[in-house]
Structure 1
Amino acid sequence: MAKKIRGAALAITLLILGASLALGQESPAPRLDAAKKKAIVDEIAALFNENYIFADTAKKVEEALRAKLEAGDFDKLSAAPDFARGVGAVILEVSKDRHTGFAYSPETAEDIRRLRSRSEDEVRKARESRLEEARRENFGFRKVERLAGNIGDVDFRIFASPDEAGPTAVAAMNFLAYCDAIIVDLRQNGGGDPAQIQLISSYFFDEPVHLNDLYARAADRTENYWTLPYVPGPKAAGADLYILTSGRTFSGAEEFTYNMKNLKRATVIGETTGGGAHPTTTRIVQEDYILRVPFARAINPVSKTNWEGTGVAPDIAVPAAEAFDRAYALAVEKLAAKAAAPRRKAEYEWILAGLKAEADPPRLDERALRSFVGVYAERKVTFENGALYYQRTGPKYRLIPMTATLFAVEGLDSFRVAFTVKDSRAVEIVGLYDTGERDSSARTK
């Protein structure tokens, strides 16, 4: 049963069909008479009553479709695509379930029939082709990096099956293992395999943790998901965890977010997610139509419910485009508050000053900039092409304003300069280092 539910859960990826369902429509589309419309509704009703996760909702979908059919609401929708859109809208309106879908798509239906009738050799070749493409896409992993302050950042777009993507996921998690905080960017992640969610989640806990359950109504069976007893490499169980979300964060990506939020393991930053918690199965209706029916539902062991229709609300609500900056700043602030060693605290304060300047850069006019021009013992500050330049020995470095008197040095992340000003005149230059050390030179010319 585990493989059955998991395999069906993978049908979430068939949401990709959402775009293709509108494609492949033959031209001209057939016109439907009353008998054909009734046959379509009858088959949809049977499939929903047999498979849909909530029996009472399935019945309401059937009743709504039959009521509209009998009331003549579909009479003007005689073209197959129009009728399908009308039916799909009713299903969505009644179920409030974004995993549902109904469309006229004879080419998609034929593709599904062809897939189901393939020989073993054809199945193998198709699997190899998909695997080759998935490898080229690095199984959805776009970026893994260590930021200043020993903060990790990982951006991946799908929870690909660990059967193929496991080594890539493990490599990413091992890279982040010794970070003090980790940002997991799911703003463009649409879901995927619950087994991959299980694998990645396992790196964030030392002890066994119950993550989620999947319940399939037709089979009346529940599959439990716990963290794995073993994962390759070190864990990041002690790292502060931040998850970035958007309205495009969906399905399995929402599960990961919802699990971590309810377990109080992560801080969620961004937008409320899409709201899809139901694995689906795809069925052909009346030869030329495609129906998506959610057949199972997630049940969180903490909340006893899921995120279907509501999405996962962030702990800190900001536009998705601002989520990373907010998470990074928060991660640094939290680490700074916990830091005991002066050098470590100085490192975090250094980063925060840079982030503040990036978020709200000062605007210094030419007169203000020229007031710093001069010779400070072995150091020299010049004004060229609208910018200040600093030189001690060797090349010149452009100075970038952080405040009215503090400047970043382009190309030298660990060094900055500040000016001491008296009576509107710079009298001293101070070299600042990210270790907390400093040196200064008085103005000599």
Structure 2
Amino acid sequence: MDAARQRAVLGRIAELVEREYFDPDVALWLAASVRELPPAEGATEQGLAERVTALLRPHEAHFGVYAGDWAPRERRTVDRSGPAIEAGVDGGIGVLTVRVFDDGDDHDAVAVAQQALAAVAGCDALVLDLCDVPGGYPSMVELLLGAFVAEPAHVLTFHARDERFESWTRPGASDPRLTGLPLLVAVDGGTASAAESCAYALQSLGRATVVGAPTVGAANPGLPHDTGLGFTVFISNGSPVDPRTGRNWERTGVVPDVAADLPLEAAIALARKAATGVGREA
């Protein structure tokens, strides 16, 4: 790529960031940073994409520039070897293993979630395993969270450029068999996006103890935009804000209450202690 083409591509990416990024003030200086990036001698399309991504991503985990058409190349393959949410019982401790947050408005996905929740309803304590979950639909977060809280809960407020809207737990989702049980949430460096939203809300609500390692730190969703010059840029178009903390988990990740190298094992051990502590036999 010659210098003129690099400048043209950088200029177009800057225009898109300035126009589409959810925070107009931040968008201005991010766009200026892109425009100021000097052309590189002997640059390739892939090399330029990587340079701009490296410039933007420290400010926003979802940012990405791609040579050619955008495809979710950086997204991990979802483990479909079993149900999206699977229940197990380990000595009186219910373990809900989430592989992905499927669409909470899809009848089949809801049935899978409800079946898993029902399977652990008679347990003494619960572990929600969110380790290495790449994310999914906020609607399933609303459904799962709703099962664990007695009253409707405000999950977050989503801030976009020109609008605000609130996410709440699903009406009627609360399960009295689950709302009083000790709840531990296992997370790690592979817990991302919607999975982080779930863990963050349970933590801020005081409903669960989060165990493991800091999560990815990808809070702000977005969309791909074609530059028309052979590149695509993925730009966040909004940001969730927790009504209790006034913040989210972008860049910082969800910080566990209890650090652990083996999150699931540690969460199960703590669940056993919690069950014993409330007079139950684990």
After TM superposition, is the score higher than 0.5? Answer: yes
Q: Distance in 2 between matches of 1:264 and 1:98?
A: 26
Instruction: Give per-residue Cα distances to partners, 1:346-395, cap 9 Å, x unaligned.
Output: x44xxxxxxxxxxxxxxxxxxxxxxxxxxxxxxxxxxxxxxxxxxxxxxx
Contact 2:187 2:210 in 1 (8 A): yes
Distance 2:28 2:16 in 1: 11
- Corresponding residue for 2:187? 245
Partner residue of 2:49 out of 78, 84, 87: 84
Output the TM-score relative to the length of structure 1.
Answer: 0.59
Alignment partner of 1:195 is 2:149: no
Q: Which residue of 2 aligns with 1:325?
A: 265
The residue aligned with 1:400 is none
Q: Within 2, Cα distance between the matches of 1:233 and 1:258?
A: 20
Q: Distance in 1 between matches of 2:141 and 2:23?
A: 25
Say if 2:94 is the partner of 1:152: yes
Report Cα offsets for 1:296-316 as digits up to 9, x if no partner.
Answer: 101000011101010111000
CA contact (8 A) 1:275 1:310 kept: yes
Cα RMSD of the aligned pairs, angstroms, is: 2.1
Inter-CA distance 282–52: structure 2 relative to 1 (3 Å threshold)? same
Is the Cα contact below 8 Å between 1:208 and 1:229 reproduced in 2? yes
Structure 2 residue runs without a partner (length 5+)? 73-77
Q: Once the two structures are superposed, what CA deviation does each residue of 1:398-421 show, in whole Å capped at 9, x if it has no partner?
A: xxxxxxxxxxxxxxxxxxxxxxxx
1:352-391 paired onto structure 2 within 5 Å: none
Sort the Cα spacing of 1:234 and 1:265 in 2 relative to 1 into closer, same or farther, 3 A. Answer: closer
The alignment partner of 1:184 has SS state of strand
Question: Is contact 1:144-1:172 (8 Å) kept?
Answer: yes
Give the SS at the match of 2:36. Answer: helix
- 1:147-186 equivalence runs, <5 A: 147-148=90-91, 150-164=92-106, 165-186=109-130
Shift of 1:138: 4.7
CA distance in structure 2 between the aligned counterparts of 1:172 and 1:333, rounded to whole angstroms: 23
Contact 2:100 2:133 in 1 (8 A): yes
Which residue type is aligned with residue 251 of structure 1? Answer: S
Q: Do the aligned partners of 1:53 and 1:216 also contact (CA within 8 Å) in 2?
A: yes
Task: From 99, 102, 119, give the equivalent of 2:65.
Answer: 102
Matching residue's letter, 1:57 = V
1:11-410 map, 5 Å: 32-69=1-38, 74-93=39-58, 96-104=59-67, 106=68, 108-109=69-70, 137-138=81-82, 140-141=84-85, 143-148=86-91, 150-164=92-106, 165-217=109-161, 220-231=162-173, 235-319=177-261, 322-339=262-279, 347-348=281-282
Separation in 1, partners of 2:192, 2:137? 12
Partner AA of 1:265 in structure 2: R
* Structure 2 length-normalised TM: 0.91
1:330 partner amino acid = L
Cα offset for 1:207? 1.1
Please give the residue correspondences for 1:401-440 in structure 2 after superposition, counting only pairs within 5 Å: none
**Per-residue Cα deviation, 1:25-83 (whole angstroms, up to 9, x for no partner):** xxxxxxx22232222122211211111122222112221122223xxxx2225221111
Deviation (angstroms), 1:204: 0.5
Deviation at 1:287, TM superposition (A): 4.3
SS in 2 for 1:171: helix
Structure 2 residue matching 1:159: 3-state secondary structure: coil
Letter in 2 for 1:302: R
Of Structure 1 and Structure 2, the greater helix share is in 1
The 2-side partners of 1:77 and 1:87 are apart by 16
Provide the aligned length of Structure 1 versus Structure 2. 275
Query: In structure 1, how many angstroms separate the alpha carbons of the residues matched to 2:186 and 2:210?
Result: 6
Q: 1:222 to 1:269 in 2, by over 3 A?
A: same
- Please say if residues 180 and 238 of structure 1, whose CA atoms lie closer than 8 Å, have aligned partners that are also in contact: no
Query: Cα distance 1:231–1:92, how it changes in 2: closer, same or farther (>3 A)?
Result: closer
Using the alignment, how far apart are the partners of 2:152 and 2:258 within structure 1? 28
Match of 1:122 in 2: none
**Structure 1 Cα separation of the partners of residues 164 and 81 of structure 2:** 33
- Structure 1 segments, 4+ long, off by >4 Å, are 134-139, 232-235
The unaligned stretches of length 5 or more in structure 1 are 1-31, 113-133, 349-445
SS in 1 for 2:116: helix
